[in-house]
Structure 1
Amino acid sequence: MSDKIISDDGEFHTEDEEFDLSTTTPEAWLALAFFWLLGLTVFYQFITRYVFNDSAAWTEEIARYQLIAVVFIGAAIGVVKNNHIQVDFFYRHMPARLGRLMSGFVDLVRIAFFAAAVVMTVQMMLKIGNQTRITVVDLPMNIVYALCLLGFAVMLLRSVQVAVIHYRRGYSVLERPDATMQDR
Structure 2
Amino acid sequence: MRRRSGASHDAERAGEPIAFGLEGPLVLGFVEGGLDTADEARLAEEVAKTLPLRWSLPSRALERLNLLSNHLGGERGLLEWLDGHPGLPRLTARLLVLVDGLERYTDDPAVVTAVRDFRAGHGLPEELRGVLPPATSAETLSDLSSRLDRQLFDHDVEGARSLGLATSRWLRDAASAATSPSPGLTEMGEVMARLHEDLAAAST
TM range (shorter): under 0.3
Max radius of gyration: which structure?
Answer: 1
Structure showing the higher helix proportion among its residues? 2
TM-score normalised to the size of structure 1? Answer: 0.26
Q: Which has the higher contact order (CA 8 A, sep 6+)?
A: 1
TM-score normalised to the size of structure 2? Answer: 0.24
